Structure 1
Amino acid sequence: MTMLSGQARLSVAVIGAGAVGGVAAAAMHEAGHEVSVCVRTPFEVLVIQTADGEKRVPVRVITDPGDAKPVDWVLLAVKAFDTPGTADWLASLCDRETTVVVLQNGIDQAAEVGGLVPGTTVLPALVYIQAERLAPGRIRLGYGNRLDAPNGPVAERLVRLFQDSGMEVSLQADMITAAWRKLMLNAAVNPLTALTLRRMEVMRDPLVRALAEGLMTETLAVAVAAGAALTEEDMQQTLEFMAEFSDGNGTSMLYDRLAGNPLEWQALNGAVVRHAEAHGIDVPLNRTMTALIHAVSPRDPAAVVSRDTLLAG
């Protein structure tokens, strides 16, 4: 371990080089750490494209878990439904000194990851980055440079890890509320952009905005039942935040549908439905979004939702 200006140079492995993984890997390189990117499809150099031009980021690319060794930090940046497929990577990259940061949508992901790496520290994080994977190793970064993590000693180490990276780590005293606040937005904008095949300009349509508000209202009710300290005012602020997105920006689910990839309904509207059932709350709009996104997603045997779940209520 060598020293940078004021901090240690650490070994960091990023599992997944999609939009979030690519941006996170670039941030780790900017901070001066030793960065490896673990992927299925190799590429020669990581390129981050912004409005100011392109930045080429030299990282080590690994395609075989057998070539990986334990590192100080793992940033897990695959979609939630791909988590089981990272088991071999995690086994190679983790020991008891490793910290795994889960950079995924949803509210339940850290528990699943923890089951794959017993004895390893696992930290959930909320990602506020608008980016799009254009090709293997090529990412278009629109805006956003923030991660939210639960306040505590592990997250304080995460802040130091990202020092001088250009990315902010915000510590949250109430991670449950923070996670549900983000899900309240994602459960609306992700399916509505993916189903209409339109970017954020679609949210200016009065009928679509009304549907988004209905989805958020249902999610708010479930969030409160699950222990989140959210109110009607929070929902209105989320609607206002949604309106600030520029027309050219899309969502991760839209980008996945355009690319022909599986869609992340389980961690978004599917999560609202699961928690609603646990609390006896009816969420017909979220059940509808779950059914429709499931229907248009490329078939994935691990992503088949039961008829009872879709029709419950």
Structure 2
Amino acid sequence: MRIVVFGAGAVGLGLGSFLLAGGAEVAFVARADTAAALRRDGLARDGRFGAFRAGPRELAAAETPAELPAAFAAPDAVLVCVKSFDAEPAAAALAAAKDLVGERALVVVCQNGWGGAEPFARALGAERVYGARVITGFARPAPARVEVTAHAEPVAIGSLFGAPPGAAEPLCAVLRRGGLPAETTDRLEELLLAKLLYNGCLNALGAVCGVPYGVLGASPPARAVMRDVAREAFRAFDAAGLRTRWPDADAFLRCLYEELLPPTAAHEPSTLQDLRAGRRTEIDALNGAVVRLAAAHGVETPVNRALCEIVRILEAKAARPGGAG
């Protein structure tokens, strides 16, 4: 398979490394410093699932789709791994690069939060746009190096728009060959809502407190905050007619503490990583998505809203010279 990874942050590099290990031809569309590092040094992965190295001649990297090698003019799949706040411009860029998307390329949106696939469905046609639920923790300590810090469940790829999940099986097979568990699903909405709950409870609070997930799970005060976050989210879901695999927030929290949290206890939230680097966070697609969904149905979410505002304060502080320290 020929696969383009659009966005080469921690998730893009991480998934790309498993695709390369699985035998795919992979090209990255990346920011200038990352593209230059990949062309110079190749890609290195460490952490869970072991070490992997791909030399610069074993991959391609460019700053725009137009600069990709001719061999990637009509790839089998495009993995969109940009941050949630870059979804609209990324969708527009792919729509403008008609040769890249072609007639048959599967477009798989790999983003945190809720609502990330819609801009791509509008721009490219819903029938080809799939989503991926990723609960594998990645960190990027250098432009062309990625670490796998946690892994809870297989990558799950499916459609939110009624397309058959089987179309994503070749992509899942490459990931599995590369060493990353992956499967197709016909219940992607349910899985994405579950991840929204998981991230909503852990990501912002962990960033505000400056701690990995496991510290939150061991803290009674943190559990009290997470309880309120989850209960507000379930009230929003109920009002919107959305269903998860848990009947209520308390059932979700039991699963979180007993099953979901232990494998990822050492992982530091992506929001914390962004704040430390002085980058914009994805809070608007996480707790912010819960706040917007609830507001649309007349539901109040004071704890989720407060977490959003605190993270935005920290964002502004981190963006100032010397602020990230």
TM over 0.5, shorter chain: yes
Give the SS at the match of 1:125: strand
- The CA deviation at 1:83 is 1.8
Structure 1 counterpart of 2:61: 61
**For residues 226-237 of structure 1, what are the structure 2 equivalents within 5 Å?**
226=240, 227-229=242-244, 230-232=246-248, 233-237=251-255
**Higher-helix-fraction structure:** 2
6, 10, 14: which one pairs with 1:23? 14
Alignment pair present for 1:143 and 2:150:
yes
- The CA deviation at 1:53 is 6.1
- The CA deviation at 1:281 is 1.4
Q: Which runs of 5+ in 1 are unaligned?
A: 1-9, 300-313
Give the SS at the match of 1:143: strand
Alpha-carbon spacing, 1:97–1:119, altered in 2? closer, same or farther (3 Å):
farther
* Letter paired with 2:102: D
Structure 2 counterpart of 1:289: 307
267, 271, 283: which one pairs with 2:289? 271
Give the SS at the match of 1:266: helix
Deviations for 1:79-123, whole angstroms, at most 9, x for unmatched residues? 110123323255332122111100001121111122232477110
Give the SS at the match of 1:231: coil
* Letter paired with 2:79: L
CA distance, structure 2, for counterparts of residue 224 and residue 170 of structure 1: 28
Alpha-carbon spacing, 1:51–1:272, altered in 2? closer, same or farther (3 Å):
closer
CA distance, structure 2, for counterparts of residue 287 and residue 208 of structure 1: 16
Normalised to the residue count of structure 2, the TM-score between the two structures is 0.82
Alignment pair present for 1:206 and 2:216:
no
CA distance, structure 2, for counterparts of residue 238 and residue 21 of structure 1: 26
- The CA deviation at 1:254 is 1.2
* Letter paired with 2:105: T
Structure 1 counterpart of 2:189: 176
96, 115, 126: which one pairs with 1:91? 96
Structure 2 counterpart of 1:47: 44
Structure 2 counterpart of 1:216: 230
- The CA deviation at 1:278 is 1.8
Structure 2 counterpart of 1:310: none
- The CA deviation at 1:168 is 2.0
134, 138, 141: which one pairs with 1:127? 134
CA distance, structure 2, for counterparts of residue 138 and residue 274 of structure 1: 35
Give the SS at the match of 2:207: helix
Q: Which runs of 5+ in 2 are unaligned?
A: 159-163, 318-325
269, 272, 281: which one pairs with 1:254? 272
List structure 1 segments (4+ residues) > 6 angstroms apart after TM superposition.
Answer: none
Alpha-carbon spacing, 1:249–1:16, altered in 2? closer, same or farther (3 Å):
same
User: Which of 158-167 and 22-31 deviates more?
Assistant: 158-167
Give the SS at the match of 2:177: coil
- The CA deviation at 1:197 is 1.7
Query: How many pairs were matched up?
Result: 290
CA distance, structure 1, for counterparts of residue 208 and residue 294 of structure 2: 23
Asked if structure 1 preserves the Cα contact closer than 8 Å seen for 2:6 and 2:29, the reply is yes
* Letter paired with 2:17: A
* Letter paired with 2:111: Q
Give the SS at the match of 1:228: coil
User: Which of 266-275 and 65-74 deviates more?
Assistant: 65-74
Structure 2 counterpart of 1:76: 80
* Letter paired with 1:18: G
**Higher-strand-fraction structure:** 1
- The CA deviation at 1:64 is 3.0
- The CA deviation at 1:51 is 5.7
CA distance, structure 2, for counterparts of residue 120 and residue 96 of structure 1: 11
User: Which of 49-58 and 289-298 deviates more?
Assistant: 49-58
- The CA deviation at 1:249 is 1.8
Asked if structure 2 preserves the Cα contact closer than 8 Å seen for 1:273 and 1:287, the reply is yes
210, 231, 239: which one pairs with 2:257? 239
